[in-house]
Amino acid sequence: MTKTIGTDQQHGRVRQAARRAVTGLRSSWPLVLLSALLVALALPAALLVAPGFLGPEAPAPAPSAPAWQQAPATLSARQGLAALDAAAEIPSQPAVTAQLDPLLKADGGGTFTGMVQDAWTGQVLFDRGGSEGRVPASNMKLLTAVAALRSLGPGHRFSTTVVAGPAPGQVVLVGGGDVLLGPGDSNPERALGHAGLATLAAATVEALTSDGASGELKVLVDDSLFSGPALNPAWDSGDVAAGEVAPLFPLALNSGRYDPAVTTGPRPQDSAIAAAEEFAARLRTAGAAAGLTVAAGVERSPAPARAAGGESEKPVVLAEVQSATVAEQVDVMLQDSDNYLAEALGRLTALADGLPGSNDGATAAVRAQLSAAGLATDAMKLVDVCGLAMGNQVPARQFSEVVRAITSGADTRLRAALDGFPVAGLTGTLDTRYGGGATAGGAGLVRAKTGTLNTVLALSGYVVDADGRLLVFSFIGNGLTPGAAGNKEALDRAATALAGCGCR
């Protein structure tokens, strides 16, 4: 009995505890609902503010780039021409002759002469009338390049200056031989326009205002550096009218052109005055803010600027700009076959050698420099230094020897001319040639100076043959049928054959 009563009591106490729990739960139910609501609201808020504490989410991995866009794991094999091989066998003369003779055939009238030599030894590998005097056209510029680099030096520059004039309020623009002046700001990255008239004008205004100058300025020009006729009487008037060349002055814009991009047609007939007028316009713009005005019109200085201020007194230099180097100008001359620039470099070479800055001085200086370089000149007749005159007579052998001196001679100053040789199918006057099936093999391999007149074609340059031997060559056609397409093709095929020659 005792046991039963005790058990019932225990059950009773359990039931009472359960009633109290239910009652407590009923009384706390609003608090549970409130807590659940707070949790539901807090979760989105936590998601919003969590990045501020945890930092940005890690970006998704980028898709893998294609293989050709990925950094290389190893260096590519070196490309380009193989190095010269000193042990390479020299081609045999009979084999080279057998290759070239069938190719150098005139299309219509006229004949080709030519010379090929091994550059290192001078050994003659092909000789067809190589000692005969020929009209070389623009191959003449190779002779001018050698003379300028020897006499002036590859790094020489020409100055265009502004000095105080002989009377108050006058300034004199003095030509120092730079015919590649640009109208705007100087551009040190280019040969054409390396020195700019806008830069020169701004520097002139700065110098004048620092000295307290004001009022009106008058621009004079001193172009007395060159002498003799501005136009060579040996040049054909039709070539001058066509814009192949223009009267020569020791300062000019765009190598004596109105627009550097337009290389044919009318050109300024007085490049010195044209440059002075452009300078005056730039000076007028630069001086406006400083209270300086510039009188209309320009005039030639009554006396060379070096005499201004008396015999013992040099003029006050107000401003100066310098040209591209001789080496850079030689590159332009050869790549573009620029007649005006060639004639200017010839006269500047003459002045450096103590000769007059004239056409006669230029031809004499070129001859003297070639002779001093150990090159034969007895068979040469030089009428100009750009090759426009039909009176020039130079054998193919002389051009072959000149190219040999440039590529491998003892005078390393001449190496500066190498960049100026047009590359077949790519640059300069050879950029549109070597595209046909018979000549495509020479594209990128033949490097040569062209020459073109009405009845004249020439090509002088160098190649590395299939065995790694450096060969120099010159081919000249005279009396050719004007416009006959096969003549350029003959020159290009011959040069291509040399590039592919393993002629033993």
Between the CA of residue 262 and those of 258, 273, 373, what are the distances in Å? 8, 20, 37
CB atoms within 10 A of CB 207: 17
Q: If you ran DSSP here, which 8-state letter would residue 41 be given?
A: H
Question: Which CATH number is associated with domain 93-153+380-499?
Answer: 3.40.710.10
Could you tell me the two tokens for 32? 């549970």
Q: Is 105 a catalytic residue?
A: no
The answer to whether the Cα torsion of 198, 203, 204, 208 is positive or negative is: positive
**Phi, psi angles (nearest 5°) of residue 215:** 90, -150
Q: If you ran DSSP here, which 8-state letter would residue 205 be given?
A: H
> Where along the chain do the CATH 3.40.710.10 domains lie?
93-153+380-499
Tokens 């006269």 correspond to what residue? Answer: 347
Could you tell me the two tokens for 161? 């200056």
Catalytic residue among 271, 301, 337, 358: 337
Show the low-confidence residues of the chain (pLDDT under 50).
Answer: 1-19, 21-34, 36-39, 41-55, 68, 78-81, 307-312
Write down the pLDDT at residue 503. Answer: 81
pTM of the model: 0.83
For 230, residues 6+ apart whose C-beta sits below 8 A from its C-beta are: 247, 248, 249
* Per-residue model confidence as pLDDT tens digits over 356-413: 999 999 999 999 999 999 999 999 999 999 999 999 999 999 999 999 999 999 999 9
Q: Are 350 and 362 in contact (CB under 8 A)?
A: yes
Write down the pLDDT at residue 412. Answer: 97
Could you tell me the two tokens for 306? 């070096």
Q: Is 227 a catalytic residue?
A: no
Cα 213 to Cα 226: distance, rounded to the nearest angstrom: 32
3-class secondary-structure state, position 104: coil
* Per-residue model confidence as pLDDT tens digits over 273-303: 999 999 999 999 999 989 999 999 999 999 8
For 145, residues 6+ apart whose C-beta sits below 8 A from its C-beta are: 330, 333, 334, 345, 406, 417, 420
Q: Is 138 a catalytic residue?
A: yes
Q: Would you list the DSSP string of 43-87?
A: HHHHHHHHHHHH-SPPPPPPPPPPGGGSPPSSPPPP-SSPPP-TT
Cα 416 to Cα 145: distance, rounded to the nearest angstrom: 9
The gap from C-alpha 477 to its chain's centroid, in whole angstroms, comes to 30
Write down the pLDDT at residue 38. Answer: 46
Cα 157 to Cα 147: distance, rounded to the nearest angstrom: 16
Share of the chain residues as helix, strand and coil, in percent rounded to the nearest 5: 40, 15, 45
3-class secondary-structure state, position 464: strand
Q: Are 421 and 448 in contact (CB under 8 A)?
A: yes
One-letter amino acid identity for 360?
A: D
For the chain, give the number of residues.
Answer: 504
One-letter amino acid identity for 364?
A: A
3-class secondary-structure state, position 138: helix
Write down the pLDDT at residue 197. Answer: 98
Q: Are strands 470-478 and 456-464 parallel, antiparallel or unpaired?
A: antiparallel
Write down the pLDDT at residue 502. Answer: 81
The gap from C-alpha 346 to its chain's centroid, in whole angstroms, comes to 21
Residue 97, H or E segment: helix 93-100
The answer to whether the Cα torsion of 235, 452, 392, 143 is positive or negative is: positive
Catalytic residue among 141, 218, 449, 488: 141
Q: Are 386 and 144 in contact (CB under 8 A)?
A: yes
Radius of gyration of the chain (CA): 40
